[in-house]
Structure 1
Amino acid sequence: MKQELKGIFFDIDDTLYSTTIFAEKARRSAIQAMIELGLKGAPEALYQELIEVTQEFEPNYGFHFNKLLDRLPKEASSHCNPAILVAGAVISYHDRKFRELALFPDAPPFLEKLSQTNLIRGIITSGLAIKQSEKILRLGLLKYLSGQEAIIISDQVGINKPNPKLFQKALDRFGLAPSETAYVGDNPKKDILPCQQLGIRTIWMDRGGKHSILEPSIKPDYRVESFLEVEEILKKWGVNLP
């Protein structure tokens, strides 16, 4: 007989909200702002160049727009102050982010129900502490969690996904056994596999994003496309949701 579920943890990006769609909109807004400030080039070509920059220098690198200018022909930004172009891009990016950052529509009602249970509810996420914390606050996630101690950010503990030790931190912090714990994430290699290695129950949130290919060695307990399906799984596991 399966042990009682006592805790459930979530990834943030592309699990609770669409990082992919949000990032594209924000980056395109930034490119348009740079063009309006004098940068020369076709919007789509500049956007694709920016995507290459983010792939080569990682998403959390702080100088994507500077690197974009560095790799463009000099005539693209002649008669422009590079600092003004970068500042315009940053302002536009963040304005779009603050305006449109939102949970998937099916997440709030599910999280509200979950918050009325006795389950330990937390976040295990990769990224810079300040960026991930900002997302937690702007998305309104804090009220659904079992306190701030239920937030585990890779940058704060010196361990990153897919190292299983990151997930073990959550188990140790709350005295949970792997079989008493579930994790919901979108990335098979970084979310599902390390939990699988520890024996944590896994729910793969597959909304058709960039991590929709599953390798044969990775075997989530469930694959879902919405939190309505997660709700049904929890009921199967004996969780009484209101």
Structure 2
Amino acid sequence: MMKAIIFDLDGTLLNRDESVKKFIDKQYERLNKWLHPIPKEEYIKRFIELDNRGYVWKDKVYKQLINEFSIQGVTWDELLQDYLSYFKENCVPFPNLLETLDRLKQNNLLIGIITNGKGQFQMDNIKALEIDKYMDIILISDWEGIKKPDPNIFRRASERLQVSPEDCVFIGDHPEKDVQAAQAVGMKGIWKRDHQWNRVKADVVIDELDEIPKIIQKFL
């Protein structure tokens, strides 16, 4: 019997692509005194390329930007601190996020998050989306000392929820780090479709969050 729904964060609940575009546009304006010699479109485009959808931490991104564009007057560390301070103000949720979580809670389901990333940074983003109040558990790799696809972080989540992995559904956008890793410990794996991949082996494939409550009913 399905008792718990566990989500990935970036690319699943948080529309990270849109959040990054919104943030970097505002960063350019905020720090225009130092960044104005670089065409805005070039700065945004190169940041997004170097960021690699979040898989490259921003210290490396900003060091590379400083080097490539010969940025003067502001350091990579100051750019990074700006990112840490302001990204949370630019978090864009996927459509129907809160409505979906409301419906899941109405079905008396436990809800959690497992996300890779820096601890306080990810927690700030979770709070910015106003979803922390729905969560029974939140596991962030930085604070847990392990990260997806390590099976132990999935087992740890089910243990904290006090349910077996077989009674959990995990929903994420990454075929291996989310879906396959969850399935490997006995959870159902739902893939939230991402244009980067196709032919993903998942128990269910969804495009929108509001598809989830009806799908979960089939598992109950």
**Superposition deviation, residue 199 in structure 1:** 1.8
Q: What's 2:4 paired with?
A: 7
Q: What's 1:47 paired with?
A: 44
Q: What's 2:74 paired with?
A: 82
**Superposition deviation, residue 194 in structure 1:** 0.4
Q: What's 1:194 paired with?
A: 181
Contact 2:88–2:125 (Cα < 8 Å) also in 1 = no
1:237 and 2:209 aligned? no
Give the whole-Å Cα distance in 2 for the aligned partners of 1:122 and 1:214: 26
Give the whole-Å Cα distance in 1 for the aligned partners of 2:51 and 2:87: 18
- Structure (1 or 2) with the larger CA radius of gyration: 1
Contact 1:115–1:145 (Cα < 8 Å) also in 2 = no
1:68 and 2:65 aligned? yes
Q: What's 2:105 paired with?
A: 115
Give the whole-Å Cα distance in 2 for the aligned partners of 1:62 and 1:169: 30
Give the whole-Å Cα distance in 2 for the aligned partners of 1:101 and 1:12: 11
Any gaps of 5 or more consecutive residues in structure 2? Answer: none
Contact 1:27–1:93 (Cα < 8 Å) also in 2 = no
Give the whole-Å Cα distance in 2 for the aligned partners of 1:169 and 1:38: 44
1:137 and 2:136 aligned? no
Q: What's 1:28 paired with?
A: 25
Give the whole-Å Cα distance in 2 for the aligned partners of 1:86 and 1:170: 34
* CA RMSD between the two structures: 2.8
**Structure 1 228/50 Cα, relative in aligned 2: closer, same or farther at 3 Å?**
closer
Give the whole-Å Cα distance in 2 for the aligned partners of 1:173 and 1:89: 33
Matched letter for residue 51 of structure 1: I
**Structure 1 145/58 Cα, relative in aligned 2: closer, same or farther at 3 Å?**
closer
Range that drifts further, 17-26 or 28-37? 28-37
**Correspondences of 1:152-231 after superposition (within 5 Å):** 152-206=139-193, 209-211=194-196, 213-214=197-198, 218-231=200-213
* TM-score, length of structure 1 as denominator length: 0.78
Paired residues, what number? Answer: 220
Give the whole-Å Cα distance in 2 for the aligned partners of 1:8 and 1:48: 35
**Superposition deviation, residue 43 in structure 1:** 2.7
Give the whole-Å Cα distance in 1 for the aligned partners of 2:50 and 2:209: 33
**Superposition deviation, residue 9 in structure 1:** 0.6
Give the whole-Å Cα distance in 2 for the aligned partners of 1:102 and 1:51: 16
Contact 1:37–1:88 (Cα < 8 Å) also in 2 = no
